[in-house]
Amino acid sequence: MPDLPDPFVLAGKEYTSRLIVGTGKYKDFAETKQAIEASGAEIVTVAVRRVNITDPNKENLLDYIDPKQYTILPNTAGCYTVEDAVRTCRLAREAGVGNMVKLEVIGDPKTLFPDIPGTLEAAKLLVDDGFIVLPYIHDDPISCQKLEDMGCAAVMPLAAPIGSGLGICNPYNIRIILEHSKIPVIVDAGVGTASDATVALEMGCDAVLMNTAIAAAKDPILMAEAMRLGVDAGRKAYLAGRMGKKLYATASSPLGDLIE
Amino acid sequence: MTVRLNGDERECREGATIANLVEELGLGKKRIAVEVNQDIIPHEEYVHHGLKHGDEVEIVHFVGGGC
């Protein structure tokens, strides 16, 4: 049966996949490429770092991940100030992969939680500078509303701390964010396994972004496929509309015409 | 003359441009961005932009990363 058209629209562009994947923590670029292919992702995140001057001819990530085939989403991971985050975005844009960025202004190295005032300030500067801004933010409906109001293209509330694999820790907040948001809601960070991704999509999130859950699996390629299927299952369940929950049983076989 | 390139000192000949430096490093065809003294230099200016003694040069590219 052919799938019904159900595009994920982000900043005016249609995508088939609702899974966005990172490119960090893989054993090599070949494995990164295979995992991305298995995940079916069309948007991949990358980090911006200094070129290794002592060996500048070393292989480059973009030799494996073709920017013509994938939407490259540079992040500002590792930025603890508004200035560093904005500077990193501007460098990424100059490096020639477009103007969509995953904004992170990190507040603390132990939790890697976002610095909310810093994220809001940087988002405003970047939107005003013509960027398509996808901010990583707490599962906080108020911050998400403010980011939407200032013109971000999506909000990316965390499911749990980055790299923790704890899954969606506060589904009630995510539900409130979903209820109020008129822009895509992408759960970013904290997903641990395929069922976590399914839950996010079942709730009505538009997409999910992950890295460690795939890269740190014993078999990253297989997990990438599991995530693809988990996201698809969650989306289809959301569209199908789940049955209501009841406390007592309701028989699904006819109650009459039993043998005596 | 000496510039500071990605945090390390590097000798450049007098009058060298960013284009010269980028070629010397074998980065001519790579997706990179260059900053001199915290100003981003557009690609089309690499051939004109002369480096000066003491310039702080940053050359960045994309690496694997998620969050």
How many beta carbons lie within 10 A of that of residue A238, not counting itself? 18
Q: Which residues of B touch A62 (CB under 8 A)?
A: 30-31, 61-62
| pLDDT tens per residue, range A108-157 | 999 999 999 999 999 999 999 999 999 999 999 999 999 999 999 999 99
pLDDT of A148 reads 98
For testing the chain B interface, which of A53, A68, A113 should be mutated: the one with the most B CBs within 10 Å?
A: A53
| pLDDT tens per residue, range A154-176 | 999 999 999 999 999 999 999 99
CA distance A110 to B6: 27
Q: What residues contact A211, with CB distance under 8 A and at least 6 apart?
A: A21, A22, A23, A24, A25, A45, A163, B65, B66, B67
pLDDT of A54 reads 81
Q: Which residues of B touch A87 (CB under 8 A)?
A: 35, 38
CA distance B43 to A96: 10
In one-letter notation, the amino acid at residue B19 is A
Average the pLDDT over A255-259 and give the result. 89
Q: Supply B10's token pair.
A: 């590097």
How far apart, in Å, do the first and last CA atoms of chain A sit? 43
Average the pLDDT over B42-49 and give the result. 94
A212 in B contact zone (CB under 8 Å): yes
B13 in A contact zone (CB under 8 Å): no
Question: By the 8 A CB rule, do A168 and A196 touch?
Answer: yes
Which residues are bridge partners to A35 per DSSP?
none
pLDDT of A2 reads 54
Known catalytic membership, residue A102: yes
| pLDDT tens per residue, range B3-40 | 999 999 999 999 999 999 999 998 888 899 999 999 99
Under an 8 A CB cutoff, do A60 and B62 touch?
yes
Predicted confidence (pLDDT) at residue A1 exceeds the cutoff of 70? no
pLDDT of A56 reads 63
